[in-house]
């Protein structure tokens, strides 16, 4: 099928408008664990939306693609993150601290990060859907690279992939249940995100009221409430796991999608009235509605009070042109720039882009919205950083974490993935400070098989590193990988943090 460029842009405009509406409506009630009674905006807006970090980081990702091209990965995005994302709260701050210590994604999101199961990733999924409309597998791959920066191996990654795939499919599929099915096909059946979604669907099918569905989600998947109403305390919702927020909030999103019966106003009100991370859940729903139905379908009563401007909250404006001049100033400029990146993504990935004098269109293959066979192999890369060298990928895994202590061996696994056309014999050599003992030795040789069908040949080697006294806070090594049939010398970084002396929480 074909979508005209004008239809595509109307949906993208709807996405950004819905994002601003939901974020503005939900912001005053963010992180209140209570059933709200909200029907409309709670403040005098004077024609502007409220600033919201849900959109801010997506503007950085757009600029990253504009400056560096569409072959982005988590390491590149992480560099933009450290330079341009100003907050130090929760997963945002933990990721920056880890990256500054030398831990690249996914370690930046998984190591010592209480918030890897929180909401910071799924709130920024729309940009990937908009540059890969109708191709959820591609949108999901982009989303993976994004999410692992600050969510590593946590539920937050599954939340963003679910949303990105659903939103990409929304360009060509209108049925909400089908869209949920498509999103679910990209994440593990046994993850908490999938379980929370399926719980809501079951309750909806049983005819249970939305307030009961909301309570069941909190009963089974709640995180720690920052401010809990007396009513929710009486229900036993006062406690919860710190940072365990994505499953419940994706559940609230699905409640609004299903119980609102496709009505924008009803759905967005239900979502905000469920409580929890209300600006994130309502903004994500608003974006989904806009992608399915386009800008024109959003009621004027919601659009007029906030206008079309973009207000930022957490970006380093000093590094984004003259006090932020590099940023899109309104959703119209954002849509035009998104459309240009979409065309580059299509051309780079060999997708059907129709260019003619009358109108540009995008071609989308029918029945190709669900996760392709083998997509779940992407989750192998939650275990450690991946380094790509043409015919080879190399993943470095830390089974006990990227840490080392005095007289305690640290394990490092090296997974070499052959993407070439021949069997290979590869050689590994450690470049290491002299204080460390490395077993089975500083130099190793291994055979790696030919790729088979859709899968790559893989080989894994495990090493132990130890020393009597760890010499420095951050200990850096390199692995030199060479092959008889390749001229490239591949250098892979390894980082171990010294945790010989660990902080102990103070009991109060």
pLDDT of residue 503: 67
Per-residue model confidence as pLDDT tens digits over 206-231: 999 999 999 999 999 999 988 999 99
Q: In angstroms, what CA-CA distances link 79 with 60, 105, 189, 377, 493?
A: 11, 11, 32, 25, 16
Query: 414: helix, coil or strand?
Result: strand
d(CA 115, CA 432) in angstroms, rounded, equals 33
pTM, two decimal places? 0.95
H/E run at residue 283: helix 278-293
Query: 121: helix, coil or strand?
Result: coil
The domain ranges of the chain are 2-363, 383-498
Angle, to 10 degrees, between the axis of helix 53-68 and the axis of helix 278-293?
60
In the DSSP assignment, the letter for residue 309 is: B
For residue 488, which of 397, 394, 414 has the smallest C-alpha distance?
394
pLDDT of residue 54: 87
Residue scoring higher pLDDT (419 or 507): 419
| CATH superfamily to which 2-363 belongs | ADP-ribosylation/Crystallin J1 (1.10.4080.10)
Helix (H), strand (E) counts: the chain = 17, 15
Q: What is the mean pLDDT of residues 289-318?
A: 95
pLDDT of residue 439: 93
Confidence band of 453 (pLDDT split at 50, 70, 90): very low
d(CA 491, CA 465) in angstroms, rounded, equals 18
Please determine, for residue 448, whether its predicted confidence score (pLDDT) is greater than 80.
Answer: no
For residue 19, which of 290, 329, 341 has the smallest C-alpha distance?
290
Q: Using CB atoms within 10 Å of the CB of residue 1, give its burial: 0 to 12 exposed, 13 to 18 middle, 19+ buried.
A: exposed
| Selection from 348-357, 362-371, 388-397 with the highest mean pLDDT | 388-397
Q: For 383-498, CATH number?
A: 2.60.40.10
* Residue 419, number of CB atoms within 10 A of its CB: 13
pLDDT of residue 53: 85
Contact 237, 33 (CB under 8 A): yes
d(CA 442, CA 424) in angstroms, rounded, equals 20
Per-residue model confidence as pLDDT tens digits over 75-85: 999 999 999 99
pLDDT of residue 208: 98
Contact 51, 312 (CB under 8 A): yes
Query: 482: helix, coil or strand?
Result: strand
d(CA 117, CA 153) in angstroms, rounded, equals 9
* Residue 373, number of CB atoms within 10 A of its CB: 8
Q: From the CA atom positions of the chain, what is the Rg in Å?
A: 24
Q: What is the mean pLDDT of residues 37-51?
A: 91
Place of tokens 């400056």: 67
d(CA 183, CA 163) in angstroms, rounded, equals 7
pLDDT of residue 489: 87
Please determine, for residue 13, whether its predicted confidence score (pLDDT) is greater than 90.
Answer: yes
The gap from C-alpha 465 to its chain's centroid, in whole angstroms, comes to 32
Please determine, for residue 427, whether its predicted confidence score (pLDDT) is greater than 90.
Answer: no
Per-residue model confidence as pLDDT tens digits over 77-121: 999 999 999 989 899 999 999 999 999 999 999 999 999 999 999
Angle, to 10 degrees, between the axis of helix 136-151 and the axis of helix 155-169?
150
SS (H, E, C) 229-275: CHHHHHCCCCCCECCCCHHHHHHHHHHHHHHCCCCHHHHHHHHHHCC
Q: Which residues pair with 362 in a beta bridge?
A: 3, 353
Q: What is the mean pLDDT of residues 129-155?
A: 97
d(CA 155, CA 233) in angstroms, rounded, equals 26
Let me know how long the chain is.
508
Range 61-68 contact pairs with CB under 8 angstroms and sequence separation of 24 or more: 61/124, 61/127, 61/128, 61/146, 62/127, 62/328, 62/334, 62/337, 62/338, 62/341, 63/320, 63/326, 63/327, 65/131, 65/341, 65/344, 66/337, 66/341
The gap from C-alpha 240 to its chain's centroid, in whole angstroms, comes to 23
Q: What is the mean pLDDT of residues 40-58?
A: 91
Looking at the chain, the whole-number percentage of residues with pLDDT higher than 70 is 95
pLDDT of residue 446: 66
Confidence band of 327 (pLDDT split at 50, 70, 90): very high
Whole-number average pLDDT of the chain: 92
d(CA 12, CA 351) in angstroms, rounded, equals 19
d(CA 191, CA 487) in angstroms, rounded, equals 42
Q: Where are the alpha helices (DSSP H) in 320-438?
A: 331-348
d(CA 3, CA 353) in angstroms, rounded, equals 10
Please determine, for residue 358, whether its predicted confidence score (pLDDT) is greater than 70.
Answer: no
H/E run at residue 150: helix 136-151
Query: 362: helix, coil or strand?
Result: strand
Confidence band of 454 (pLDDT split at 50, 70, 90): very low
| Cis, bond preceding 106 (omega within 30 deg of 0) | yes
Please determine, for residue 443, whether its predicted confidence score (pLDDT) is greater than 90.
Answer: no
For residue 167, which of 147, 140, 191 has the smallest C-alpha distance?
140
Among 56-60, 205-209, 349-353, where is mean pLDDT lowest? Answer: 349-353
d(CA 482, CA 459) in angstroms, rounded, equals 14
| Tokens encoding 296 | 């024109």
């Amino acid at each position: 099928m074909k979508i005209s460029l004008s239809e595509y842009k109307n949906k993208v405009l709807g996405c950004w408008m819905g994002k601003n509406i939901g974020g503005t409506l939900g912001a005053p009630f963010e992180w209140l664990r209570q059933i709200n009674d909200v029907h409309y905006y709670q403040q005098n807006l004077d024609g502007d939306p409220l600033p919201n970090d849900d959109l801010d980081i997506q503007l950085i990702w757009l600029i990253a693609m504009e400056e560096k091209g569409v072959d982005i990965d988590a390491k590149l995005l992480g560099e933009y993150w450290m330079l341009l994302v100003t907050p130090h709260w929760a997963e945002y701050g933990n990721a920056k601290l880890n990256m500054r210590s030398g831990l690249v994604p996914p370690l930046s999101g998984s190591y010592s990060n209480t918030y890897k199961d929180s909401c910071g990733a799924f709130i920024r999924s729309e940009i990937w859907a908009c540059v890969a409309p109708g191709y959820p597998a591609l949108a999901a791959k982009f989303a993976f690279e994004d999410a692992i920066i600050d969510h590593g191996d946590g539920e937050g990654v599954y939340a963003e992939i679910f949303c990105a795939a659903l939103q990409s499919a929304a360009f060509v599929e209108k049925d909400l249940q089908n869209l949920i099915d498509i999103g679910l096909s990209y994440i593990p059946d046994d993850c908490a995100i999938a379980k929370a979604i399926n719980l809501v669907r079951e309750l909806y099918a049983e005819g249970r009221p939305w307030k009961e569905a909301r309570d069941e989600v909190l009963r089974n998947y709640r995180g720690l409430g920052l401010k809990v109403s007396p009513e929710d305390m009486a229900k036993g919702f006062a406690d919860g796991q710190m940072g365990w927020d994505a499953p419940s909030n994706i559940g609230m999103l699905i409640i609004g999608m299903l119980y609102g019966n496709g009505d924008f106003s009803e759905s967005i009100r239900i979502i905000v009235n469920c409580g929890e991370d209300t600006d994130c859940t309502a903004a994500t729903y608003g974006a989904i509605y806009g992608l399915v139905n386009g800008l024109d379908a959003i009621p004027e009563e919601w659009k007029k009070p906030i206008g079309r401007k973009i207000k930022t909250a957490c970006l380093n404006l000093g590094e984004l042109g003259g006090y932020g001049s590099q940023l899109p100033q309104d959703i119209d400029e954002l849509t035009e720039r998104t459309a240009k990146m979409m065309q580059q993504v299509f051309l780079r990935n060999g997708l059907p882009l129709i260019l003619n004098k009358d109108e540009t269109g995008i071609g989308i293959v029918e029945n190709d919205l669900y996760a392709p066979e083998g997509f779940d192999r992407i989750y192998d890369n939650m275990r450690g950083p991946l380094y790509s060298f043409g015919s080879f990928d190399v993943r470095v895994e830390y089974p006990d974490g990227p840490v080392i202590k005095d007289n305690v061996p640290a394990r490092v696994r090296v997974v070499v993935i052959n993407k070439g056309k021949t069997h290979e014999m590869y050689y590994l050599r450690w470049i290491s400070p002299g204080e460390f003992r490395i077993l089975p030795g500083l130099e190793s040789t291994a055979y790696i098989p030919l790729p088979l069908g859709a899968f790559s040949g893989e080989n894994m080697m495990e090493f132990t590193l130890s020393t009597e006294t760890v010499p420095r806070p951050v200990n850096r090594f390199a692995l030199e990988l060479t092959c008889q049939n390749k001229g490239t010398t591949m250098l892979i970084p390894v980082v171990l943090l010294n945790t010989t002396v660990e902080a102990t929480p103070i009991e109060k």
